[in-house]
Chains A and B, each alone.
Chain A
Amino acid sequence: MLIKLAWRNLWRNKLRTAIMLSAMAFGLIGVVTMIGFMNGMYGNMIDNAISWQTSHVQVHHQDFVDNPETTLAIVEPELITAELDKISEVIAWSERFIVDGMVASARSSRGVRVNGVDIDAEARVTPIASSVKEGSWLPAEGRHPVVVSLKTAQRLRLKLGSKVVITFSNAEKDVTGAAFRVSGFFSTPSSNFDDGNIYVRRTDLMAMAGIDGSHEIAVLLDDKNKMSNALAISVRDKIRLITSSENSVRDWQQIQPMLASIIAQMGPSNAILLGIFVLAMGFGVVNIMLMSVFERTREFGVLMAVGMQKHKVFALIIFETSLLGVTGATLGLMSSLGLIELLQITGIPLGNMAEGLGAFGVDTTLYPQVAASEYRYIFITVVLVCVLAALYPARQILKQRPVDAMAEKH
């Protein structure tokens, strides 16, 4: 009966309630879309960083990280790969022979990181093979193939089949060089990455350098939760146990601390967004609850006169505001859910903005993401704020004696 009464009271002033509910709904759509946009953008950044740059775990010689010299190869890499084969969460791993060198065409030259990779292993760990836009990924046969980015190709004026010369310092610190033939052009979401990386076969590079081994082992895990590095840490620690202390084993957040800070600030920044909305909404609710309660002062007086206990009067007011909150939050979140679902299909084209964001590794089309837990959290916050907003008006009414309440004329 109390809830029925509360619900009908809520709709006494239809226009006022409808306006408040619309304000809540539109506000929530705005907030949820913003949160979805941010989540989508940062999530995309993290996804791209993991798939292209950090994988989940990487192993290097500890000195290679700061000083990438050809001689600083991983100590006993076969122990590591043997261990990786035993860990069930490991999807794939790739051993890389890496040198910093120059790539030159007839027109121009550029400093690049030359990634010597095992063709199939690399294709399993990163999406490189599928990111070749023209030509093909490194072939197993044929002399000295190289895959460069579209950007590098433009700068060096390369065509498929063009010849380039790659030079770098070998193990003896002598400059060594060889001719390679372009087999394909790739393009990744990160313009920085495209600028600085080319791919050749590991065996070709080892032959040029005059030593065997690898400088980097990148490990890809079966881990859907991009907001946490827990699984990466556990695999990292397993490898640390069996490998020489001269090797450094790091999870993706250690490799790219910016990713950890992005994740760390996502929660607070979404909370601030929600906080601002909820504060504005809270004042709105206080306002309409004050109006709706005080214009009924006499009625509450009558209720107390005919024997309604104060806690029930209080409950009635709280029910009214809760129903307002629940209705508003449901309306708002349902519409938001619909909008987000739609945007999940269509995506948000970033247009010009994508150019700028390309440097951070963000795709040109964004898919907003809002987790079920975020919807729940928003729902609870909205209802809670509505209840809090009604406490003051409710208290004011309860302080009155029935006669005084009834004496109020409206």
Chain B
Amino acid sequence: MSIQTTQLRKTYNQDTDFPVHAVKQLDLSIEQGEFVAVMGPSGSGKTTLLNMIGGIDIPSAGTVIIDGIDICALKDKALIAFRRDNIGFIFQDYSLLPVLTALENVEFVMQLQGHSEKECRERAITLLDQVGLGEQLHKIPSKLSGGQQQRVAVARALAPSPRFVMADEPTANLDAKSTAELLDIMQQLNEKEGTTFIFSTHDPRVIKRARRVIVFEDGQLTEDRAQ
């Protein structure tokens, strides 16, 4: 169970005079259970990479193979279902539904999978408890702090029991304390449940906690180290 990219490339504005090579010829392999930080300056292509291996963006060339499935070849509908069941997303701006409560935000993605209401409720409460929001179940996002919202987002990403979680600069908007709390939670989940986390960042405190660091510069992998 792994993510495998071969000769992965993404070029924006391909047919114009100023093509942007966001990701260049990338061969990368990430195993189940890893806790990986993708590091690099702004504009180096981290977001583009995460989007492609998360199946929400299409590469210009090359393949992304997850558990033997070439996700680039999947049809729209199958791809959405694949993402729903296998990949969780955590976004920099949290991206919770503002009209739903914390609990409903988490339940919602499980309901998309077709679980019963009772199942969704139980798992959502368990997860929100785990991220320390057992007391805030019925608050809407705007009534929560940034750190709390991001923890709801973590619960939401994990609710459908995905095997991979893509987190694009999850701590960029958080203060030091919230960042540390969030990393604790992610690390725990990684260790306990074996969920693979791939997160991009340029925050040295976050990089310190990663077990594998991929350094990205100008669309190219310049360093890949375990720590």
Contact = CB atoms under 8 A, between A and B. Distances in A.
Contacts of A337: none
A308 B56 contact: no
A165 interface: no
Contacts of B112: 306-309, 312
Interface residues of A, number: 21
A9 B100 CA distance: 9
Contacts of B113: 307
B83 A9 contact: no
Given A1-B111, A403-B56, A306 B84 contact: yes
Interface residues of B, number: 29
Contact of A5 (B77, B89, B99): B99
B33 to A, nearest CB: 22
Contact of A306 (B76, B98, B99, B156): B156
Nearest to B112: A307
A155 interface: no
B34 interface: no
Interface string B99-118: 11000100111011100000
Contacts of B80: 304, 307-310
B99 A12 contact: yes
A305 interface: yes
A302 B156 CA distance: 12
A358 B206 CA distance: 89
Contact of B81 (A1, A302, A307, A406): A307
Given A1-B108, A403-B57, A306 B100 contact: no
B58 interface: yes
B188 interface: no
B83 A306 contact: yes
Contacts of B51: 403
Nearest to B83: A307
Nearest to A7: B99
A12 B98 CA distance: 9
Contacts of B76: 310
A385 to B, nearest CB: 25
Interface string B70-97: 0000001100110111001101000101
Contact of A8 (B56, B88, B100, B107): B100
B83 A305 contact: yes
Nearest to A313: B80
A307 B85 contact: yes
Nearest to A304: B80
A298 B107 CA distance: 20
* Residue from B56, B81, B97 with most neighbouring chain A CB atoms (10 Å): B56
A388 B139 CA distance: 35
Given A1-B108, A307-B112, A309-B77, A302 B99 contact: no
A312 B108 CA distance: 12
A307 B109 contact: yes
Given A5-B97, A9-B99, A299-B95, A306 B89 contact: yes
B131 to A, nearest CB: 17
B112 to A, nearest CB: 5
B40 interface: no
Contacts of A403: 51, 56-57
A402 interface: yes
A5 B88 CA distance: 21
A401 interface: yes
Contacts of A307: 80-81, 83-85, 109, 112-113, 160
Interface string A390-410: 000000000001110010000
A8 B141 CA distance: 14
B109 A306 contact: yes
Contacts of B89: 302, 305-306
B81 A8 contact: no
A406 B98 CA distance: 16
Interface of A: 1, 5, 8-9, 12, 298-299, 302-310, 312, 401-403, 406
10 contacts: A9-B99, A12-B98, A12-B99, A302-B89, A304-B56, A305-B83, A307-B80, A307-B81, A307-B113, A309-B77
Shortest 4 CB-CB contacts between residues of A and residues of B: A307-B84, A8-B99, A403-B57, A402-B56
